[in-house]
Structure 1
């Protein structure tokens, strides 16, 4: 009897062990966050160079703390602020130091405006006195402390305000702000979305001047979206949205003198009338303001320096490009007011050093690879720190180099994606590393030697958890298509057998300068692809022409023809893959989201002899419906380039539909409006084409909230099974 019990227990253990190593991913697990990686939240390097701060939240007690750690030992030194010690607030979820680190802005409440902008409730914590001051009883935007920590500026209802923290007095800088008409110091929708910034004002070094951009939206057309909610009647969300070829906000530059209370408009001698102001930043000199001016086509970028004391201005750098110029935050002024700049003017993105008058001193980096992030400059040792693709376009490494372009040193040693957060004095950096096989690791490095000081945090627990799941290797390779070696990854079933045939499911995004084939850890979609692979699909992703990090020519070949060359690459790649013995060329599908949805729609229509099915989520179906800044950057205006807009629009090719098509959109998408899908649906109906579609009420471009993501991926998974998996069991037998 005992022997029998032992045998039963042994068999149970063996069965359990085998079963545990064969767990399959489920959509509920993927979208519940079970495979989310741990990180370091709100990391800030303290000015002394020896310490850093991190936001820690105790979810049980709902207590927030800003804790200070020592770089060298990684031990906690002290707790700078704890919400448990502040009677006025229950907790906070973000923080920002003043420049002199004497005060901290604590964010206690927040509600979204658009994708990047929020309205919030903020408090200021004085570190020395431990005094807490509420910035405003209203929900405000972008509160920013003056460099000396004595004042705070913020936006409220399209106007700018300054509060004196000692007296508590609030001054209203502007008075003409009005919804959907005038905005002061906060960007409009299209600037926020496409130039990626919200705060359009900046303090000077002496805390006595504020420069800001004013947006006059009066002539910008309004877009409205029904918000269905749960009430008896729906409401409408109405906002200004300039579509390609239509009127933009009229922007102007203004200066407020905190001492004299004078408000002045600053004009410069521009060479073009229709322009953007995508960046403004004070230099090291308190009276010298730098401003980027850009023409509407975005192929001319002028850097102006404005002397606000003498009220004179001059162009110190003017760039031109046959296609377009990317705007960055890399402009760095040195103590002598010379400056560091990044540019693609030699065909790859590199670092340049200019004199304060705009004379080129040195091209600091060069080669057939891209600088992908500029981290900063250490004046004491005359060294620049940056990230690049020198170790392959799908990888990222951290480097240092002297300002004169000499003594370049690779500071990271693992192949994959490395990203640095430097201490204030550049003595140390915390490196975040991941690869397709290794989840995020956080490690402290010595910036001078590149030596590892100490491991901080890893995700070994997640890696251990994943050992019990069936996971296939993400195989990186290149595929020769239309004269280019395109980066590709492939996920095959774990029990892949080359003597059998499999359906092929392709994913791509393909937007200008983007990258999906990268040696980094999983996102949520990667677990979905693993799930599909174990259900019998081969999943592939290819970065075609127009994507980034392989030089300007490769990226900008799609200029004026969005959707042409990228599509040719996806169709030709699918044809080549379909010729492989183990792929069933009659069962090839493709999907994408946003730009990827535009591409997958076109692939099914123009590649109707190659693709059996396509899924398009939140797709652009005509670039005429999308915003000015993004669209015109790559296409100029519809008035100038009508064929570029129309010949590559899926709406104009619905008569070619043969395969299975699933169209999905959120009705509350303020970015790619549901208008795109509605017009596509109408075109399909009038062409008498059958298709499937799904609308998610009030959901934005991300289509999430509650059970939404699980429902969305169930819908797509079921569609894939019905359209590509009909012969799946037969082909596997």
Structure 2
């Protein structure tokens, strides 16, 4: 009897060790697998401290807490919403004045597009502890360097608020919806140059530089908003499609004291972009990055605020395109640090104040992926790179002369640093495909860990019962000889003697990366769920993706969707020949650029792919915006075949497999027009397919139960069609 009990116990133990609790879409999109982080982590500038926005669920309050970098101990709670009924709705974001004695707090934010929003703003004085509502429904309020004023935008005009007098002075008055914008970017700049605030203070707080957008001639785009009203409303905004007219931009200077405005003479440029604006350490010189429309010529210009005359201090050209950099850093003498991929890889350069190259700081067949800062005391540059492989990220420091390089991160995976103001310490966020994000305090001298701050051990323990499979990284070589980064997730009970269906995922856009050694996101958890249901999941980064050098990234120039599609089809053929893969059951999925790709792969690779899901896809490059599309394709007038040969809408007659097309009607980025015209093309080609339209949902297609319904729909489609 005892031996039978032992046998039962052994079998039960074995079962519990190997049993796999099933993941559900509901769990994923309710946030059950979300990792803990350090919200709104900000390094202070004047003290060796940092702040974090914490939440107290019991009291439904938020706190801006101040911590000491060296000890990690909380020094003070700078503000607690419990004490301020005006902030009962919470803190959306916060910024400090330069002297860090005032905080500007945003709440009741209302999104406009991807990055832009309006909000109400409260000014909190850390000495007096007074909280005052100062601005309502405004954009991008920014302290002057001396902390006495706040510049902001409202309804397409710029203003300055004087904190002491509480007076507001208009800088511009000609702002008008869908016509003139002052100090805030238009839709296409916001989306493709990824910035909203198009104004900047001089270092002496006396002047403002700003960009003005005249979008009068830009064609309009309208979206119907259905909501729950009897009649839909229409949202209309200016959207320049490839080859169409862009906003005419101009650069202006405003003297806050004299209230005199000047226009910078940029008459030597025609049909151009002002992609960045930044004041130098010299209060009389402002810098701007000016790109031609093809984006293959970039000038860094310095503008003399007295004369409003611009001079070119640095020029970069490229046969394909020049990337705008956010890493322009001015040193005390106005020499500057700049990142560029002019030698074939993205690296750090030092120039003198006149734009003469002093030194290339980093070198090698690898990319600098983030520039963290420069320590004036030790003349040391801190950065992140892919020096140890394009799928991992490490933190480094190096002397300005390019010597004394030290690797500060030690674990293989993704390391992201936040440095203390004196660069003596840094908070390292580390994760890998098998380790959820961990935050540690590290010494910037040698990178050694001082102390752990936040871990996700509880999440790791929680996931044990799901007995997740491993995401395996490998290099896939196509028959044409292209070596591509890839990962694969096999079912946990994988049996090499069986044949499995394969579901491929990719994004594939220029400079992007999906094959990276970091912790699992929500898509990964969905893929893990699919693996539990007997699917092998594969992701391949084809040519045109990032972090392997400019030649690999830019080889798709003028032919978006040609080589990337070729690589996905060729990768699927290689995978289809694995002994454990059923080559008749390969599917592919993607969103946005990935949706463009999955559509093209199913049509052009009709004998390779059995099914595809395309979410919010570009179906014709002629429908997409000017800045993004022309960067890689020039204009449709110049490159008609590049546009048409690679747009899936022109290949619908080749469809053989199962196709699911999904789009949101309020997608301001990739308009639902793309899918509507694709649907009509498929109908006229007499092709059967499936589609789902999400009313009033933007490019992200989320809100309420939307993601749960969407991912259940896609899951069911995969199970039915693959």
TM-score for the superposition, normalised by structure 2: 0.98
| Whole-angstrom CA distance in 1 between matches of 2:121 and 2:392 | 39
CA contact (8 A) 1:155 1:186 kept: yes
Q: Residue deviations 1:205-235, cap 9 Å, x none? A: 1111010000001000110011000011111
Say yes or no: does 1:197 pair with 2:195: yes
Q: Residue deviations 1:620-659, cap 9 Å, x none? A: 0001000000000000000000000000011111110111
Change (3 A) 1:574 1:310: same
| Whole-angstrom CA distance in 1 between matches of 2:148 and 2:19 | 60
Which residue in 2 is equivalent to 1:81? Answer: 79
Q: Among residues 19, 26, 35, which one is paired with 1:37 in the alignment?
A: 35
| Root mean square deviation, CA, Å | 1.7
Q: Among residues 512, 524, 527, which one is paired with 2:525 in the alignment?
A: 527
| Whole-angstrom CA distance in 2 between matches of 1:63 and 1:615 | 42
Deviation, 1:92, is 2.0
Which residue in 1 is equivalent to 2:490? Answer: 492
Deviation, 1:51, is 1.2
SS, match of residue 238 in structure 1: strand
Say yes or no: does 1:475 pair with 2:472: yes
Deviation, 1:89, is 3.1
> What are the within-5 Å matches in structure 2 for residues 122-133 of structure 1?
122-133=121-132
CA contact (8 A) 1:49 1:426 kept: no
Deviation, 1:723, is 1.2
> What are the within-5 Å matches in structure 2 for residues 103-502 of structure 1?
103-136=102-135, 138-268=136-266, 270=268, 272-481=269-478, 482-502=480-500
| Whole-angstrom CA distance in 1 between matches of 2:160 and 2:513 | 41
Deviation, 1:45, is 1.1
Change (3 A) 1:157 1:554: same
SS, match of residue 37 in structure 1: coil
CA contact (8 A) 1:620 1:676 kept: yes
SS, match of residue 374 in structure 1: strand
CA contact (8 A) 2:262 2:308 kept: no
CA contact (8 A) 2:501 2:536 kept: yes
CA contact (8 A) 2:156 2:180 kept: yes
Runs of 4+ aligned structure 1 residues displaced above 3 Å come to: 10-17
TM-score for the superposition, normalised by structure 1: 0.96
| Whole-angstrom CA distance in 1 between matches of 2:13 and 2:594 | 43
Deviation, 1:109, is 1.2
> Structure 1: 5+ residue runs without aligned partners?
725-733
Q: Residue deviations 1:406-446, cap 9 Å, x none? A: 00110000000000011112111101000000000001111
> Structure 2: 5+ residue runs without aligned partners?
none
Deviation, 1:21, is 4.3
CA contact (8 A) 1:470 1:534 kept: no
Deviation, 1:88, is 3.7
Which residue in 1 is equivalent to 2:648? Answer: 650
Change (3 A) 1:655 1:362: same
Deviation, 1:131, is 2.1
Deviation, 1:19, is 8.1
| Whole-angstrom CA distance in 2 between matches of 1:363 and 1:184 | 37
CA contact (8 A) 1:293 1:301 kept: yes
Which residue in 2 is equivalent to 1:730? Answer: none
Which residue in 2 is equivalent to 1:729? Answer: none
Deviation, 1:453, is 1.2
| Whole-angstrom CA distance in 1 between matches of 2:84 and 2:415 | 38
Which residue in 2 is equivalent to 1:599? Answer: 597
| Whole-angstrom CA distance in 1 between matches of 2:491 and 2:251 | 58
Deviation, 1:65, is 1.4
CA contact (8 A) 1:338 1:354 kept: yes
| Whole-angstrom CA distance in 2 between matches of 1:176 and 1:13 | 78
| Whole-angstrom CA distance in 2 between matches of 1:602 and 1:693 | 16
Q: How many matched pairs? A: 719
| Whole-angstrom CA distance in 1 between matches of 2:704 and 2:12 | 39
SS, match of residue 494 in structure 1: coil
Q: Residue deviations 1:491-535, cap 9 Å, x none? A: 001111111100111111000000000000000011111111111
CA contact (8 A) 1:385 1:400 kept: yes
CA contact (8 A) 2:297 2:318 kept: yes
